[in-house]
Amino acid sequence: MRILITGGTVLSSTGAVQADVLVDGETIAALSAPGISWDADKVIDATGKYVLPGGIDAHTHMEMPFGGTHSNDTFETGTTAAAWGGTTTIIDFAVQAKGTTLQSTLDKWHSKADGNCAIDYGFHMIVSDVNETSLKEMQTCVDQGVNSFKMFMAYPGVFYATDGEILRAMQKAADIGGLIMMHAENGIAIDELVAQALQEGRTDPVQHGLTRPSALEGEATSRAITLAKVTGSPLYIVHLSAAEALNAVAAARNTGQNVFAETCPQYLYLSIEDLAKPDFEGSKYVASPPLRPKEHQASLWNGLRTNDLSVVSTDHCPFCFNEQKELGRGDFSKIPNGIPGVEHRMDLLHQGVVAGEISLARWVEITSTTPARMFGLYPRKGTISPGSDADIVVYDPQATQTLSVETHHMNVDYSAYEGMQITGKVDTVLSRGRVVVEGNAFHGSAGHGQFLSRELCQYLN
């Protein structure tokens, strides 16, 4: 099957050109001057539209066990929703439960995802039990294309790792070329603040934000950076939400340390005011780190421009309002942590282009090209180049849409962005050469998506 995408503006992380794109089978065969005639089985008219590499969402949680329940998107529903929104690759987190091995965890996540994904996918590994076996197994994970390891300075008693455990895992990562991903919040101090709030009868969702102050994200981020420096390990801060944390990342990067960070759309567009919505509505916005006061948003946009924030991922972790978020009525600490968003990342970041916060090239870079390089997928993914996978989005920058639970495809009963007006809309999506979204029709299927065995991070110096 040969597909010609004609008449569009092809975007990359370095700019935009008028070009036609020829797809042959699963890969891109050529970029050519507009109007050259090619034999093709199908022609997609992209006149007036952007043609960009498929989005890579490097931080999702499908079917993730958390707080006695599971995030509500399966690999099938979540990857389908991702495709609708122009994301053609996800990297999801396999979660080691304490007392289990990394290998059994990986096997379990493969069995959840295998045959069920509509787009390609990879895994990171959450290491929550640091011991001789799991440290050895980090190498076997790398051998199987899973070379990024998330650790938690938050959630004592669940995922939390001590500084000593983090140090040991970082030493191992430094040895084997692994990348440590850090959930940087001071969980010990936070748990104390949470206990005090509950003791004083402060139980509403907004307390989730008030008991996790941004200074404790800044402190943990600095500590993680110091541990990474001591061990020589590269470090990637996940879901960075606070100006204090960004300052710590920027300072480390200025010294040449291998420190990277991502933020998420919710920290760019939502705030603690959403967490404070009455009638338990605020629970829809409970995630960790929490939504911050609005002032942090300007710092985050600036970090995206300076590249101190180099990736935007969603941290998609959907829990329904009914029955799931409701587990925390009367006790905010029991609200499952997570916000849905895998479908809206490309649109929300395009909104940043419309608002003049970032350039078109930067939009492509932070949503596709850099995640591909960061997580060892480039140039197979993250670029429209001959030989690359034909993961392509045709995007209509003039179309308008309103985000809503009524129209989204994520398996969750609310939208965190309900009623938000967006300029721009996905028109057509190709996943490895197959048209999976065309206008209002979905042509993808579970099982089309393949596991991506990833190379090492391509930014290490």
Q: Residues 144, 288, 333, 370: which binds ligand URP (CB under 6 A)?
A: 288
Residues with Cβ < 8 Å from 93, sequence gap 6 or more? 59, 60, 61, 64, 123, 124, 125, 126, 150
Within residues 237-266, the interface with ligand URP by CB under 6 A covers 239
Dihedral, 363, 368, 374, 375 alpha carbons, nearest 10: 160
Residue 292 touching ligand URP (CB under 6 A) = no
Residues 42-81 binding ligand URP (CB under 6 A) are 61
Give min distance, CB of 263 to Zn ion, in A. 12
Q: Extract the runs of DSSP E, i.e. beta strands, from 184-258.
A: 235-237
- Counting contacts by CB under 5 A, is residue 183 touching Zn ion? yes
State yes or no: residue 144 binds ligand URP (CB under 6 A).
Answer: no
The yes or no reply on residue 337 touching ligand URP (CB under 6 A) is yes
Residue appearing with tokens 């003049």: 356
CB of 317 to ligand URP, least distance (A): 4
Provide, rounded to whole angstroms, the least separation between the CB of residue 127 and Zn ion: 13
Identity of the residue, 175 or 413, whose beta carbon is nearer to ligand URP in the bound complex: 413
Strand, coil or helix: what is 132?
helix
337 binds, among Zn ion, ligand URP, none (CB under 5 to 8 A by kind): ligand URP
Is 372 among the residues that bind ligand URP (CB under 6 A)?
A: no
Angle at 440 between CA 439 and CA 444, to 5 degrees: 90
Closest approach of ligand URP to the CB of residue 339, in Å: 7
Is residue 328 within the footprint of ligand URP (CB under 6 A)?
A: no
Tokens matching residue 225? 């950076």
By CB under 6 A, tell whether 315 contacts ligand URP. Answer: yes
Q: Should residue 224 be labelled a site residue for ligand URP when binding is judged by CB under 6 A?
A: no
Q: Are 335 and 208 in contact (CB under 8 A)?
A: yes
Smallest CA-to-CA distance from 219 within 210, 227, 230 is with 227
Pick between residue 50 and residue 285 the one whose CB is nearest to Zn ion. 285
The verdict on 315 binding Zn ion (CB under 5 A) reads yes
Q: Could you give phi then psi for residue 345, rounded to 5 degrees?
A: -60, -45
How would you class 160 by CB atoms within 10 Å of its CB: exposed for 0-12, middle for 13-18, buried for 19 or more?
middle
Residues that bind Zn ion (CB under 5 A): 183, 315
Residues that bind ligand URP (CB under 6 A): 61, 183, 239, 287-288, 315, 317, 337-338
